[in-house]
Each structure stands twice: as structure tokens, then as C-alpha cells.
């Protein structure tokens, strides 16, 4: 095999490796209408794309619901859903979120990240924003983030204690943050949470 053939082979292999990742990046950002029944089976959380958004509209969902928000499940009519919201939410929340068992609290993760300045997560109560955090407020060593061609993943794992309304987030650079879901604030009653925040601030 001559030198030109080797270069062509390497080029083709590189394209084959890059294209699937680039395609996956595009697919992950498609918006859509969706609904989710809460763990206690009493409520349904509905999210509709806002006007002007491009994505997948669901005609069946839109036939029942006119606004994004939380609705009661009506057991009196064969488990159909009522169309009167308990509360509404103005912002579009992607399908990546945590909803408390009673539907009161919502933690919405930000989009698949391409910058440390993007929003990492937003806390809501009854559809109203409590607080939000940018990725750079949670990450110390950006070199340890898991990267694709154009994006990165900053979360290592997440655990949610529904009973105590506590969210714990571990990042790819081994930082661990603990939040009160009721307030959307760092849980500074936890000594380790305080230490982790001091460490992040020292990295800025």
C-alpha cells in the first residue's frame, strides 16, 4: 500500500468515527411534547413546546392540554386526565428532569452542554423558578469532563431523596454537591457540601 492509499484510509476511518458522534449530538437536542405521571399516580406533568420552537408536536397530548404544567389524574372517569392545571410553567423543560412524587418540585437539567457558562440545572416549586446554577459553579477541573465532538457531559451520577427533598449531584471531576430541593439552594447544613463549594470557588 503506497503513501497516498494510507492517507486516504486514515481519512475515511476518521470520518466514520466522527459522523456518528456529530449525528448523535443533533438528535439529542430535538424538542418534543410529553407527559409523565408522578410516582404517587395522582398527577400528570405535561410539557408542550412553546410557539416558535421546532420539534415533535404530539396531537393527542395537545388535544387534552393547552398549557405546560401539572394536572390531576381523574380516577372517576376511567383514569382519564382532567384538563384543568394545578399550576402552569412558562419555560420549556426538556425530558431530562426529576419530579417530586407529589409533583410540587421539579429539577430541570440544562441542555447537553457545550460551554461551562450554560445552565446546569434549575429548581422549580409549583411551576415557579427557585434558583438555577451554571456548570462552572459546580465543576472545578474541566479537563476531566466527558467530551464528544462538540459537547460534554459534566454529571457523573445523581441521587434524589424524595422523602427529605434532597438532591445530590456528583460531577465528572469528582465534586459532590448537595441541594435542598425545597429552596433550590446548597444544603449548607451538610459540612461536606460547604467544603465542596469552597473548593469550586477557589478554582474559578
What pLDDT, on a 0 to 100 scale, did the predictor assign at position 96?
86
Q: Which of 61-75, 146-160, 179-193: highest mean pLDDT?
A: 146-160
Task: Give kind and range of the element (H or E) at residue 153.
Answer: strand 152-153
In this predicted model, which residue has the larger pLDDT, 103 or 13?
103
Separation between Cα atoms, residue 127 and residue 181, nearest integer Å:
13
Which residues on neighbouring strands pair with residue 69, listed in sequence order? 46, 88
Q: pTM higher than 0.85 for the full model?
A: no
> Which of 64-78, 113-127, 184-198 has the largest mean confidence?
113-127
When pLDDT is averaged across residues 104-121 and rounded to a whole number, the result is 92
Burial class of 152 by CB neighbour count within 10 A (0 to 12, 13 to 18, 19+): middle
Question: Using CA atoms, how far apart are residues 201 and 184, in angstroms rounded to an integer?
Answer: 19
Q: How far is CA 17 from the centre of its chain?
A: 27
pLDDT at 14: 47
Q: Torsion over CA of 135, 140, 142 and 144, rounded to 10 degrees?
A: -120
CA distance 22 to 29: 12
Identify the band that residue 94 occupies on the pLDDT scale cut at 50, 70 and 90: confident
List of residues 6+ apart from 55 with CB closer than 8 A: 30, 31, 32, 33, 49
- Using the predicted structure, report yes or no on whether residue 126 has a pLDDT greater than 90: yes
pLDDT at residue number 51: 84
d(CA 75, CA 43): 11
Amino acid at each position: 500500500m503506497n503513501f497516498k492509499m494510507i492517507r486516504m484510509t486514515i481519512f475515511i476511518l476518521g470520518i466514520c468515527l466522527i459522523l456518528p458522534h456529530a449525528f448523535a449530538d443533533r438528535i439529542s437536542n430535538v424538542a418534543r411534547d410529553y407527559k409523565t405521571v408522578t410516582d404517587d399516580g395522582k398527577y400528570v406533568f405535561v410539557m408542550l413546546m412553546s410557539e416558535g420552537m421546532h420539534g415533535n408536536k404530539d396531537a393527542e397530548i395537545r388535544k387534552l392540554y393547552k398549557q405546560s404544567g401539572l394536572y390531576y389524574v381523574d380516577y372517576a372517569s376511567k383514569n382519564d386526565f382532567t384538563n384543568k392545571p394545578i399550576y402552569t410553567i412558562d419555560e420549556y423543560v426538556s425530558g431530562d428532569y426529576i419530579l417530586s412524587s407529589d409533583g410540587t418540585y421539579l429539577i430541570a437539567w440544562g441542555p447537553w452542554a457545550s460551554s461551562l457558562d450554560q445552565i446546569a440545572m434549575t429548581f422549580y416549586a409549583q411551576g415557579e423558578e427557585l434558583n438555577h446554577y451554571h456548570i462552572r459553579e459546580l465543576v472545578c477541573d474541566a479537563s476531566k469532563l466527558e467530551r464528544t465532538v462538540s459537547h460534554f457531559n459534566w454529571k457523573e451520577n445523581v441521587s434524589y431523596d424524595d422523602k427529605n427533598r434532597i438532591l445530590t449531584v456528583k460531577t465528572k471531576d469528582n465534586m459532590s454537591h448537595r441541594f435542598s430541593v425545597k429552596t433550590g439552594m446548597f444544603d449548607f447544613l451538610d459540612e461536606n457540601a460547604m467544603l465542596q463549594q469552597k473548593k469550586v470557588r477557589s478554582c474559578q
